[in-house]
Chains A and B, each alone.
Chain A
Amino acid sequence: MLAAIGAIIGRDLRLALRQGLDSLLAVVFFVLACVLFPFGVGPAPETLARIAAGVLWVAALLAALLSLERLFQADYEDGSLDLLALGPAPLPAIAAAKIAAHWLTTSVPLIAAAPVLALILNLPPAAFSSLVLALVLGTPTLSLIGGVGAALVLGARRGGVLLALLVLPLYIPVLIFGVAAVGASQIGLAVQPHLFMLAALLLVALVLAPWAAGAALRQALD
């Protein structure tokens, strides 16, 4: 079964590399959304520094959401999902493998781009490490929750909007603690409690989300 999961991750990574534009688009969106804010709230450095963490998190969250709709959709439409379900891996494992590949191809570039954007948003350099750490702990949770949503809307009319409606409210806890971690480091408070909360959310999502996504895929195939 591990070989089968490895095969899925390998195939999805290869597909993402071949169609490199798709994951690049998420990063471009992320950059654009962040660049809009200095125009929206004014370029005063102290204003930007105060909202930088929130802007970065919200933009990263929306960028990750953009590509989620296609997570299972392509495999669902071309019949691959049927064949995956008929293979040795159970549906939760298939969902987990595809979510892992999605995280590697969309969230990792976002995390890499985040410090650069933090720089132009005037976030104090002392907060960079906590920003990256919070993103590393928080974005997998976003992908896992998003994976459940993507599996639920398979075959729905207007799946994209529906996906946002389902998933964004569930993103709120990650957003709260992700921003709080960066904010705490900005004013010199302890960052660990917030990071621990993010880690706890990740653990809960790791345990529950693949099962829920698997159940949703089962409904989609039936």
Chain B
Amino acid sequence: MTVSSLAALPDQLPDARAVFAGRGLACERGGRRVFQGLSFTVCAGEALVLVGRNGSGKSSLLRLMAGLSRPAQGSLTWNAGDIADDSEAHHGRLHLIGHQDAIKPALTVNENLGFWARYRGAGPCASARIADALRAFALERLAELPARYLSQGQRRRLSLCRLLASPAQLWLLDEPRAGLDRAASTSLDAALAHHRAAGGIAVVVLHAEDHPPEARVLDFDAVKAGG
């Protein structure tokens, strides 16, 4: 990804000293305690990498962080304010890339991306940002193509484009590299680096072997053993 393709991104995100933290979190799924006693802290410009075996609750933690579900115990705070107290503000500052890519096959690539940007209240430069986002993940040639013709990897890239199409300080990414080729993976790394340089926070579910060395790691297998 070239530097010019990120021109539309703000140099600095609004809250340069943000702290996102969880204390004593417990999660229950289907009557089963998935994890408990989990705590973390991430500050602006940092990345937190979640690793652990299948079913250890990484995706569940991401949903807790997004405010989609509530923890059975403990609390999540943004700058010391509980995220449940102002969920609208919390939703406004985050992007979630889950396992499903939320792409409508009947809409074109542009329309898919444009809908989410407009839904999140994109400003006047929305179309420029969308074009930049598509360029960043090498989808600009496919902009007018209905999404049903995209390959699995292209769909994944399209959903990652949402990160760049509207600004958000907190990125929650669930195995973002799944289905990406080397070039797209590099683009993602560049986007993450730029996001962190601008004061963004990223929480990423990854396999243990391919996390960036400077990121902080939360190992779920260790949490479970300790909890």
Cβ A79 vs Cβ B100 within 8 A: yes
Interface check B92, CB cutoff 8 A: yes
Cβ A4 vs Cβ B69 within 8 A: no
Stretch at the interface among B13-21, B115-123, B178-186, B197-205: B115-123
Interface check B101, CB cutoff 8 A: yes
Closest partner residue, chain A, to B90 (CB atom): A86
B119 contact from A15, A87, A90, A221, Cβ within 8 A: A87
- Give the secondary structure class of B's interface: loop
Cβ B104 vs Cβ A88 within 8 A: no
Chain B nearest CB from A11 CB (Å) reads: 5
Bound Cα distance from A221 to B88, whole angstroms: 16
Interface check B24, CB cutoff 8 A: no
Cβ A86 vs Cβ B66 within 8 A: yes
How many chain B residues touch the partner (CB < 8 A)?
27
B91 contact from A14, A18, A78, A88, Cβ within 8 A: A88
Write the B75-101 contact mask toward A (1 if CB under 8 angstroms, else 0): 000000000000010011010101111
Write the A68-81 contact mask toward B (1 if CB under 8 angstroms, else 0): 00000000011110
Interface check B103, CB cutoff 8 A: yes
Cβ B119 vs Cβ A7 within 8 A: yes
Chain B nearest CB from A178 CB (Å) reads: 33
Cβ B100 vs Cβ A18 within 8 A: no
Residues of A within 8 A of B98 (CB): 79, 82
B115 contact from A11, A19, A78, A79, Cβ within 8 A: A11
Cβ A3 vs Cβ B100 within 8 A: no
Bound Cα distance from A7 to B69, whole angstroms: 25
Cβ B106 vs Cβ A15 within 8 A: yes
Interface check B102, CB cutoff 8 A: yes
Interface check A136, CB cutoff 8 A: no
Cβ B101 vs Cβ A78 within 8 A: yes
Q: Which residues in chain A, 6-41, are within 8 Å of chain B measured between CB atoms?
A: 7-8, 11, 14-15, 18-19
Interface check B111, CB cutoff 8 A: yes
Interface check A84, CB cutoff 8 A: yes
Cβ B119 vs Cβ A84 within 8 A: yes
Residues of A within 8 A of B102 (CB): 78-80, 82-83
Cβ A15 vs Cβ B116 within 8 A: no
Q: A7-B115, A79-B99 are in contact. Are A86 and B107 (CB under 8 A)?
A: no
Residues of A within 8 A of B100 (CB): 77-79, 82
Q: A11-B115, A80-B104, A84-B119 are in contact. Are A222 and B70 (CB under 8 A)?
A: yes
Chain A nearest CB from B97 CB (Å) reads: 9
Interface centre among A3, A7, A85 (most CB of B within 10 A): A7
Cβ A4 vs Cβ B68 within 8 A: no
Q: Which residues in chain A, 70-114, are within 8 Å of chain B measured between CB atoms?
A: 77-80, 82-90
Residues of B within 8 A of A18 (CB): 106-107
Chain A nearest CB from B72 CB (Å) reads: 11
7 cross-chain CB contacts under 8 A: A4-B121, A11-B107, A78-B100, A84-B119, A88-B91, A88-B121, A222-B69
Inter-chain pairs besides A14-B107, A15-B106, 20 sampled, C-beta below 8 Å: A3-B118, A4-B121, A7-B118, A7-B119, A8-B119, A18-B107, A78-B100, A78-B102, A78-B103, A79-B100, A79-B101, A80-B102, A82-B63, A82-B100, A85-B68, A86-B68, A86-B94, A88-B88, A88-B92, A90-B88
A residues lining the B interface (CB < 8 Å): 3-4, 7-8, 11, 14-15, 18-19, 77-80, 82-90, 221-222
B residues lining the A interface (CB < 8 Å): 63, 66-70, 88, 91-92, 94, 96, 98-104, 106-107, 111, 115-116, 118-121
